[in-house]
């Protein structure tokens, strides 16, 4: 006796619903895992970006501090005691003052690495991460323009301020460099950052 074809087809398709549900479940699980992975990667990337931006801001603060130190030395003729360690950022006033005021060009000191002799040192206690910031001020070029009296003699000096922000937790280092043009002359003085 033969079974009818309609009954035979029904008998052969009894497990298809379970198979379809399992395929859909596997697809939804894969999509969920992919979404979680992408979110995790985006959060990690955002964390790296935030840490990098904090390092750049810490090093940039050091560059601006270096410009203020230069300006103070040019205005007063010496480094004020308030700028010297432990209260201030200047590590060695005896070495930095002549570098700014005299013709000491391209002093071989450096701010980071083995045997470093930074001119500036700052602890930047951001919430997280914490940075140790060191900086080096170098005089690159100095010239006198004009002849005084009617020619308004001006001394133009070019400085490079190179700062490094080291993340204490990870050891990663961010570097920011600023070029400054400073001028002093008959009642007029100042420093301006040069575009790089």
pLDDT for position 171? 86
pLDDT tens digit sequence for 14-64: 788 888 999 999 999 999 999 999 998 988 888 787 878 888 999 999 999
Q: What percent of the chain has pLDDT over 90?
A: 29
pLDDT at 11: 57
Average pLDDT, the chain: 82
The pLDDT, as a whole number, for residue 149 is: 56
Share of the chain above pLDDT 70, in %: 82
Please give the pLDDT value at position 7.
Answer: 54
User: What is this structure's pTM?
Assistant: 0.73
Contacts 24+ apart (CB under 8 A), 171-178: 172/51, 172/55, 173/55, 173/112, 174/52, 174/55, 174/56, 174/58, 174/59, 175/59, 176/56, 176/59, 176/60, 176/62, 176/63, 177/63, 178/63, 178/66, 178/67
């Amino acid at each position: 006796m033969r079974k009818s074809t309609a009954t035979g087809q029904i008998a052969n398709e009894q497990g298809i619903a379970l198979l379809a549900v399992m395929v859909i479940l596997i697809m939804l699980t894969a999509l969920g895992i992919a979404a979680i992975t992408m979110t995790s990667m985006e959060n990690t990337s955002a964390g790296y970006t935030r840490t990098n931006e904090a390092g750049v801001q810490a090093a940039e603060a050091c560059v601006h501090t270096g410009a203020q130190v230069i300006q103070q030395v040019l205005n007063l003729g010496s480094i004020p005691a308030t700028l010297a360690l432990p209260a201030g950022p200047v590590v060695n006033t005896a070495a930095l003052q002549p570098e700014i005021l005299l013709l000491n060009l391209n002093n071989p000191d450096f701010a980071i690495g083995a045997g470093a002799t930074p001119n500036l040192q700052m602890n930047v206690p951001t919430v997280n991460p914490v940075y140790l910031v060191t900086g080096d001020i170098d005089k690159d070029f100095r010239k006198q323009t004009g002849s005084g009296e009617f020619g308004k003699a001006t001394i133009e000096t070019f400085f490079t301020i190179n700062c490094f922000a080291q993340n204490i937790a990870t050891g990663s280092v961010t570097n920011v460099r600023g070029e400054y043009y400073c001028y002093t002359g008959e009642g007029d003085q100042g420093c301006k950052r040069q575009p790089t």
